[in-house]
Structure 1
Amino acid sequence: MEAHLVPAHRGCVSRQRLLLAVSLLTIWMSSAAAEMTIEVTPPNPVEGNDVNIIVRNLPIDTTVHFWYIGRSSIFRQLIVAYEKDTKKNFPGPAFTGQETISHSSSLLIRNITRKHTGYYIFQVMKPFYQTEEVFTWLRVHCEYPSLTFDCLWLVHESQLLRIFCPPISAPDPLVLCCAFENNYMPSGQTLKVFINGPDTPLISPSYVFYPPGASVNLSCYADSDPPAEYTWLVNGKVQKPSRELFIPNISQSVDQSYTCYVYNSVTRLHRTADKTFAVK
């Protein structure tokens, strides 16, 4: 009778399969990691507050972190840079002395004023000089009495729209009249307030070079009071209303255009911004 031979390396094969499964799981978990974001706290600061812009889901493989104020990450708008290995800070041209960057790279701004209103960009540098950035909008409000009231908005002195009026501050554009209808002020007395926007939207991330097949999650934001309505257009085709647009597969052979459309229902103004990619 012939003996059945059992391969001596059978245990090794099972072990190799297990290691392969663990490796694939690790790769999947890495790809499913949450995206980096930033958050302003408190969300509606007034003059004199301390504001902390917190970084969430900071990537591990970073070398230098940058904070900018403005719509683009250029040197003259650099607030501060933080070198991760040496834990040293390097103030930039936009540094005012009120900003402090922590070891977690969150940005603390003390005793804020209206001049701190604007876009804030957080950028990280990775090995081989790759960069990733996110942005947020910080609006600093004037301090008003805590009175609230119902009112009528007189839009262009013709159309009436009843809404709830909280204390409001804004820098300029469209002036509307608010006619009080409560016990705080005599009936018919008016107060001029400022309603503005939307500004030209800003699309993040600003990076344009991607390999074929890459996935990208676009985010659009425009300063607007009241908040704007967001819609994406892909090759002119309207998508579901959202600030976010997920692109699962960037193709080198397909030329597609991505447009963020924002609309303010009170001012009746709209703005757009386009996004293109370079696939290589």
Structure 2
Amino acid sequence: SLLTYWTSPTTAQVTVEAVPPHVAEGKNILLLLRNRPETYQILTWFKENLNGQDIVIARFMKSSGTNETGPAYSGRETLYPNGSLFIQNVTQEDARAFTILVTGENSYFSTAKVRFQVHPLLTNPKNTSKSFYTWEGSPVALMCEPKTQNTTHLWRRNGQSLSEEDRLKLSEGNRVLILLSVVRTDTGPYECARRNPVSASPSDPFTLNITYGQDVPITSPSNIHFHSRTNLSLSCQILTHLHSILELFIPNINTNNRGSCTCLVYNLSLASVRTQSRTLQS
């Protein structure tokens, strides 16, 4: 490029700071010139093109106090008399090298170069999976969509952060959450949050449901010996539904009630039946 062979003097070196160094698409940025020599005559800004060449954006002439625009000027740039360059409505195409040339008396010159990062404003991601239901013991993958460059991801279940462990793996920069062998306690809402240097956005909860085999019901009391003319209360429940209890109450029990009582649990989705029996003895 034109500036490749220029060398800077050993005295006051100009520098440029991007404010902010990370900017969202559509926002504004200031390329702030520092250590500008008082004896400058011309300030010229260049923008690197796709071929690595430095193309003139604009220059400011101190003697006349006027600006001239160049081929790289897009109408979004403002060159201030102090040498700083203001850029409005930045795009990904602006994430290139910008160079300022400070020309002074007796052919004195100094240069400085700066780059900044342009990031998209993140929208709310969406959690996706092949199915809302999965069998206990099988793997399942949750994906945070869409895929976005230079973005970090954080997963939560029931509001708690998730990290890699024996049954849980993260891939594609934590964008994909894999449960290698789900258990029924993995049921619940999963959320994915995305973040880049300029924005952050959480997903809506995705509820994962685990389908599992029917538990054997539990009956109590386990050993049933009764006395005639007393009341007897029997209960039946399963471990996964401890709040659902079936009760059988037999008032004023007698020898005619002797025999077997069976608790039957039927799972409609699995079309399975589990039973547990207890024998009443006097």
TM tier relative to shorter chain: 0.3 to 0.5
Which structure shows the higher helix fraction?
Answer: 1
TM-score of the superposed pair, with normalisation by structure 2: 0.42
Larger RCO, structure (CA 8 Å, separation 6 or more):
2
Higher-Rg structure is 2
Which structure shows the higher strand fraction?
Answer: 2
TM-score of the superposed pair, with normalisation by structure 1: 0.42
